[in-house]
Amino acid sequence: MEFLTEYGLFVAKVITLVVAFIVVLSALISAGSRGKRTSGSGRGTISIVRLNDELDDMRDAIRKTVLDKDQFKQEQKREKKQHKNEQKERRKQFKTLLKSTDEPIEVEFRKRIYVIDFDGDIEASEVESLREEITAILSIATSQDEVLLRLESPGGMVHAYGLASSQLLRIRDKGIPLTICVDKVAASGGYMMACLASKLVAAPFAILGSIGVLVQLPNFHRLLRKYDVDYETISAGEFKTTLTTFGEITKKGRTKVKEDVEEMHVLFKNWVKQHRPAVEIDAIATGETWVGIQALERNMVDAVMTSDECIVAACDEADVFEVSYEIRLSIGDKLGAAIHSTMDRTVMSLWKRVRENSFYS
């Protein structure tokens, strides 16, 4: 009897703690939602970091440790003098130009390179940030500037990656060079985006390709029929329902989906061929993937290098800015996004294991 009493008290405490946690969580979600509705500062925040400064800081930190004190001071003096002389020379050239003409003069600024990131999931959910980043960049960039996209994606939904690709087209349509760097993977919808680059580079063993279309889903119709479970679907339109999870799959429905998949594949092939005319599209549009060094042989990329090499080289010739846009979320949205992200990463991890297990060493 004493055991049952103690056990009952224990259960009561657990229930109390769970209820208290739910109440607190609900209050936080409600407060976050109210804050989101009443906020007048926009959907999110944009941040810009000058990567030249970060690179200089890292170099100075290394030199300060490796070089002796006098050497370090001499290097700093030399660089400051060089920078001062360059500025002086530019001012001198500008004054000479002013004296030689009465016409309005367009001041030439140093080239700017804007770095953005896209880490794609099945739904290409980062397109919401991508569109804002591109809008911000296009408000100031000129044809003398450049956009560098670090792209990672194994692909996903056709319509989602179609929208993401359309955002990159905005850059090309403005006449601004677009460099895309792939360090790990740009397959299927990822390559749909990558082929829009003015210059496409990939790491030696980055995975590219998978130019194909896939439709798959489980069907439980026979299981339901075995246990006498009815599943009713009422629809209008001959092909409103073709393949479903619980309904019977007919030969006519399967044939229609196959036709749709083949048509989408043709559109995908035409898209790649339009933006990378050098490729032999029928040879690469088999659904296969290749690593960077193999993709170069097939004209699927323009060079083999990492994004780090591209950015370090860019800092020598231009002002390089990393641009990122973070959409403001309520606590409830953040909680939901965290759960969704965890599930999505689990699914994508399993998907990549199936596709890439032959490349493991």
- Given CA atoms 212, 217, 218, 220 in this order, what sign does their dihedral have? negative
Q: Is the pLDDT of residue 238 over 90?
A: no
Q: What is the dihedral of CA 257, 121, 361, 195, to 10 degrees?
A: 80
Please state the separation of Cα 228 from the chain's center in Å. 46
More confident residue, 148 or 83: 148
* CA 313 – CA 115 distance, rounded (Å): 13
- Of 18-27, 161-170, 244-253, 265-274, which gets the smallest average pLDDT? 18-27
What is the per-residue pLDDT for 231? Answer: 84
Q: Where are the alpha helices (DSSP H) in 39-68?
A: 51-66
Q: What is the number of alpha carbons within 13 Å of residue 281 lying toward its C-beta?
A: 15
**Going edge to edge, which strands form the sheet with 303-304?**
44-50, 319-327, 112-119, 146-152, 178-182, 199-202, 303-304
More confident residue, 253 or 323: 323
β-bridge pairing 178-182 and 185-187:
unpaired
- Tell me the CA distances in angstroms from 111 to 116, 147, 340, one per residue in order: 17, 11, 40
Average pLDDT on 190-194 reads 98
What is the per-residue pLDDT for 190? Answer: 97
* CA 4 – CA 220 distance, rounded (Å): 45
Average pLDDT on 255-274 reads 95
Average pLDDT, the chain: 83
What is the per-residue pLDDT for 20? Answer: 63
Q: Are 277 and 168 in contact (CB under 8 A)?
A: no
Tokens of 73: 């001071």
Active site residue ranges: 188, 240
- Of 97-111, 261-275, 285-299, which gets the smallest average pLDDT? 97-111
86-98 confidence digits (pLDDT tens): 667 767 766 665 6
Count of beta carbons in the 10 Å neighbourhood of residue 75? 15
Which residue has 């429905």 as its token pair?
253
What is the per-residue pLDDT for 245? Answer: 87
- Tell me the CA distances in angstroms from 159 to 94, 162, 241, 254, 315, one per residue in order: 50, 5, 19, 21, 36
127-138 vs 158-173: helix axis angle to the nearest 10?
10
- Of 66-80, 87-101, 108-122, 178-192, which gets the smallest average pLDDT? 87-101
- Percent of the chain scoring above 90 in pLDDT: 51
Burial class (CB in 10 A: 0-12, 13-18, 19+), 278: exposed
* CA 47 – CA 117 distance, rounded (Å): 13
